[in-house]
Structure 1
Amino acid sequence: MPKIDNAIIMAAGFGTRMRPLTYKTPKPLVEVGGKPMIESVIDALHKNGINDISVVVGYLAAQFDYLPQKFPGVQLINNPYYDRYNNISSLYVARDHLHNTVILDGDQLIMNPAILGRDFTHSGYAGSPINSWSDEWIMHVDEHNVVASCNRDGNDHGWRLYSLSKWTAADSSKLKQYLIQEFEDQQNRDIYWDDVAMFKHFTDFTLTMMPINPGDIVEVDSIEQLAAINQRLKGRLN
């Protein structure tokens, strides 16, 4: 059984939906409950013995410089393309760090660290059941939780895909080559990195859905959500 060796945290984006707050603060460093969101992610990784952590930065990158000093094992990877291309560029610049790896976003809260456990069997994405309209990506799985398809039309039932995925070394090797193919050879740079495995080269992977509870991950996508979550979680993340 493989074990997670390292983590890649995506933290290069503008956080446009959180403006004007993110004009001066990158979204992963926005505080919730008195703590920057990305520190919630790093703390959860550390609780699972995952200390080799690469943080991909871009927008207001200098504000992340304190992280390696505060959290031994954290390194920063600069994404020089963050202001031109979609987040495929972030995993592309971090591609050499793909091993037995967990990939997740820095602008979310990990409320249940157990979902980042190092033991896993197959590559795949975290998901929770959904049976109402959603603008999220929806996975459809078979009786073994193998992903049969994924769509983004918003009018389907299935399993909501979260920005938390685990990759075996073998699949990471394939993912790395497809990132190079899409980003360099095809110059397909306006897609999400998840498109590479979930849509562009879906048949070359056997991805699983890792069930989680809806409250295990909290995403903050607006100023209003931030205020509500701050009130609810104040002091809980300290």
Structure 2
Amino acid sequence: MMMSKCFELLCALEQSKAGLATAQAAEHTHLPVSEVQPALHTMQADELVCCSDGTWTITSHGLNWLSPYRVKRAVILAAGLGSRLRPVTDRIPKPMIPVKGTRIIDTILDALIAAKINEIHIIRGYRAEAFDALLEKYSNLIFTDNPLYASANNLFSLLYAKDWLQNAYVLDADLYLFTPTLIRKYEYHTNYLACWCEHTDEWCFAHEGLRIKSFSIGGDRCYRMFGLSYWDEDDGLRLAADLEKAAHSPLARTFYWDEVPLRICKENYRIKLRKCAADDILEIDTLEELAALDPAYRPYLSDSPPVRKAPAR
């Protein structure tokens, strides 16, 4: 546990070039000050951090300590139809929708580039050619097309990316990041991003400490799941193999990819929670959420066709 706390603190200090006070470090890591203070002093003794006038900074030794945990790549799942945002998505895939002048997917791509994660795979499907416009700003993107986007859930999208899951972020392309530093250069272990909530109708986790025990659709006093996960080298290989096995199931076209590590093959994984605040990130699932971010979409609220509510993945 101490190693995990030290890792989170080192990541926070690496992201904050000016350094952090103890209370700020606690806020950034969602750890209590009572745990942060002794961890910082332990790392100071090991020359991983230093302190000047109450401000903690990471040392070169601390950066070397982080280096084995470097995130190498990202896979962005962007093949879906975006039916719940019709009629806006009749003409444009959901990740390419501009919100106050910035495309939804750009909030992800800008955060990845800022973290110097330059190997970025985008799995396309619906209106795939629209994503070509991204190359004007992000020339290093690698596109892969999923021909099953209209007839199957997203297990097959990730199956097309099975060779790129080691030391990798896997992200839903409809995430709007208010806090870009959710994307980090380093990750300690396989994890899912989640925030505490009193109630949610979305996918959520039951947990024991920081370990995810199970997931469900809807819950009270639980951690609401976001479509941002990280897979270390071993789990990335394991996930690729398990996705291939799941794809042979007669029900494969009904599976969301997350069901493979969280339900179908959950005994193969020890996945941790990575906590965030509710206002750090938004999965834009409905026209109401889109219009709340950008009033330009309010006219669509009156004439949008009814779409049956289902948990978004």
Q: TM-score, normalized by length of structure 2?
A: 0.70
| Match of residue 162 from structure 1 | 226
Contact 1:111/1:215 (<8 A) preserved: yes
8 A contact 2:189–2:231 mirrored in 1: yes
Q: Which position in structure 1 is the counterpart of 2:216?
A: 151
Counterpart position of 2:273: 209
Give the drift of 1:187.
5.7
| C-alpha contact (below 8 Å) 2:98/2:104 kept by paired residues | yes
Paired residue type of 1:41 = I
Cα RMSD, aligned residues only: 1.5
Deviates most, 169-178 or 108-117: 108-117
Native 8 Å contact 2:226 2:283 kept in 1: no
The 5 Å alignment of 1:1-80 reads 1-80=68-147
Alignment partners' CA distance in 2, 1:169 and 1:12: 25
Tell me the residue number matched to 2:239: 175
Aligned-partner Cα distance in 2 for 1:215–1:147: 22
Q: Answer whether contact 1:17 1:222 (CA < 8 A) is retained.
A: yes
For 1:139, the equivalent position in structure 2 comes to: 205
Identity between Structure 1 and Structure 2 (%) = 31
Q: Which residue of 1 aligns with 2:182?
A: 115
- In structure 2, C-alpha distance between the alignment counterparts of 1:155 and 1:170, rounded to whole Å: 31
| Residue segments in structure 1 that go unaligned for 5+ positions in a row | 233-238
Q: Which residue of structure 1 aligns with residue 248 of structure 2?
A: 184
Letter of the structure 2 residue corresponding to residue 139 of structure 1: F
| TM-score of the pair, normalised by structure 1 | 0.92
Aligned structure 1 segments of 4 or more residues deviating by more than 3 angstroms: 184-187
Q: 1:84 aligned to 2:148?
A: no
Q: Of Structure 1 and Structure 2, which has the larger fraction of its residues in helix? A: 2
> Which structure is higher in RCO with an 8 Å CA cutoff and minimum separation 6?
1
2:284 is the alignment partner of 1:220 = yes
Q: Does residue 1:127 correspond to 2:198, yes or no? A: no
- Alpha carbons of structure 1 residues 171 and 11: separation in structure 2 relative to 1, 3 Å: same
CA shift digits 1:150-181 (9 cap, x unpaired): 222x2332111100000001001000001111
1: distance between equivalents of 2:82 and 2:251? 24
Larger Rg: 2
The separation in 2 between residues aligned to 1:41 and 1:95, in whole angstroms, is: 21
Aligned AA for 1:164? Answer: L
- Name the CA distance, whole Å, in 1 between partners of 2:143 and 2:219: 38
Q: Number of residues paired by the alignment?
A: 229
